[in-house]
Amino acid sequence: MATLSFNTTRMRTPSLPRISRPSSFTKPIKTHLSSSSSSQTLSKRHRFVSRSLPETKEETLIIKQEEETEDDDPTSELSYLDPETDAESIKEWELDFCSRPILDSRGKKIWELVVCDASLSLQVTKYFPNNVINSITLKDAIVSITQDLGVPLPEKIRFFRSQMQTIITKACKELAIKEVPSKRCLSLFLWLQERYDTVYTRHPGFQKGSLPLLSLDNPFPMNLPENLFGEKWAFVQLPYSAVREEISDFDEKFVFGATLDLDLLGIDVDENTLIPGLSVASSRAKPLAAWMNGLEVCSIEADSSKGCLILAVGISTRYVYATYKKTPVTTDEAEAWESAKKASGGLHFLAIQDDLDSDDCVGFWLLIDLPPPPV
């Protein structure tokens, strides 16, 4: 287990009200939160590329000229593998297969397949007419990527559109790939935003104001399954420097949990900025963390209007993670936690412990609220 020293960062601030009674998941809870005046913006770090790196000055000049040509042609497709990356090491892909706000010569929306890995070492785009959208087309496209770039079939493919689940699942099963419905496709989210800004809007068939054909779901939250219940919870916080330290050797410290590429996300906050989190205590912390590990945890929301916490997992599953009695005090605490999350660009975390006063953490999930891509 990893030591997070939560005691030193569960700060109390006179200006923020505190709930005085500790309790279980179904009763009022004890919360501790200190707000930070530091703020940050979530800015993309541009790591979207169109070809391998040149080896000579002559190649540099040729590639620069080609890039200028390609940059002026938003209809071109992309097939890129970082030459410094071991192709065999890319075991998980992020994938989107959806229409774009672009019309073809028939006046029909163009569809696009976008594939990358979490580090953006792999980047592929392919356009398709709307009359060939099926699992066979997708399966053949996945195979062609492996053949064209010399990469193996991935072990997992993450995707975030529930409406495409049937097609993607069928294509993956025929290739013995595990499909993972998940909004933890953050590299893909960022890339789609970048493509919207720099490619789609410049396409001759672009339709300004066109709404996404397949919008993201945000369903009413369900009751939490019994196996996911903790016993107590508290709002906690860690300095940004401590968060970075924890994820620097994440695989060695944690058996359960998930991290984020903060450099890719472009997180730019002061090292002392306090990142808000939720600590959950349970006498069965390891089994609880193991169950959570298979859920693709995306984010946590403090809904002060309903007096509850919302846990978002997978693509569109939302659970009422915990409830508390609504009072002016508890409402202020929940709103302060959400404000701290916004001040850190949506960055927050979930920690599972044996006891709230323990320095040890069994599972740790680094989470972020990102707006959905505009397509």
The predicted-structure confidence for 12-49, as pLDDT tens digits, reads as follows 332 222 332 233 343 323 333 333 333 332 233 334 55
Whether 177 and 267 map to the same domain: the answer is no
Q: How far is CA 155 from the centre of its chain?
A: 19
Say which DSSP state 267 is in: B
Task: Output the pTM of the full model.
Answer: 0.81
Its domain, for residue 155, covers: 79-202
Angle at 95 between CA 94 and CA 98, to 5 degrees: 155
Whether 131 and 184 map to the same domain: the answer is yes
Whether 310 and 344 map to the same domain: the answer is yes
- Give a yes or no: residue 6 inside a domain: no
- Give a yes or no: residue 273 inside a domain: yes
Whether 197 and 127 map to the same domain: the answer is yes
**pLDDT of amino acid 234:** 95
Distance (Å, whole) CA 295 – CA 318: 11
**pLDDT of amino acid 18:** 30
Least confident among 59-68, 212-221, 320-329, 353-362 = 59-68
**pLDDT of amino acid 211:** 76
Instruction: Quote the tokens at residue 338.
Output: 């959400």
Q: Total structural domains in the chain?
A: 2
- Give a yes or no: residue 338 inside a domain: yes
**pLDDT of amino acid 134:** 98
Q: Encode pLDDT of 284-315 as tens digits.
A: 999 999 999 999 999 999 999 999 999 999 99
Q: Encode pLDDT of 47-85 as tens digits.
A: 455 333 334 444 444 444 444 444 568 999 999 999 999
**pLDDT of amino acid 73:** 84
Whether 256 and 179 map to the same domain: the answer is no
Say which DSSP state 75 is in: T
Least confident among 144-158, 229-243, 263-277, 278-292 = 263-277
- Give a yes or no: residue 209 inside a domain: no
**pLDDT of amino acid 266:** 83
- Give a yes or no: residue 189 inside a domain: yes
Burial (CB count within 10 angstroms: exposed 0-12, middle 13-18, buried 19+), residue 164: buried
Burial (CB count within 10 angstroms: exposed 0-12, middle 13-18, buried 19+), residue 365: buried
- Give a yes or no: residue 37 inside a domain: no
Whether 231 and 297 map to the same domain: the answer is yes
Angle between helices 165-174 and 135-149 (to 10 degrees): 50
Q: Give the pLDDT band (50/70/90) at residue 191.
A: very high
**pLDDT of amino acid 217:** 66
Using the predicted structure, report yes or no on whether residue 11 has a pLDDT greater than 50: no
CB proximity list for 69: less than 8 A, separation 6 or greater: none
Q: What are phi and psi of 226, to 5 degrees?
A: -60, -35
Whether 97 and 163 map to the same domain: the answer is yes
**pLDDT of amino acid 72:** 67
Higher pLDDT, 321 or 22: 321
Average pLDDT, the chain: 82
Whether 237 and 360 map to the same domain: the answer is yes
Residue 25 contacts residue 231 (beta carbons within 8 Å): yes
- Give a yes or no: residue 314 inside a domain: yes
Say which DSSP state 314 is in: T
Q: Give the pLDDT band (50/70/90) at residue 212.
A: confident
Q: Encode pLDDT of 95-144 as tens digits.
A: 999 999 999 999 999 999 999 999 999 999 999 999 999 999 999 999 99
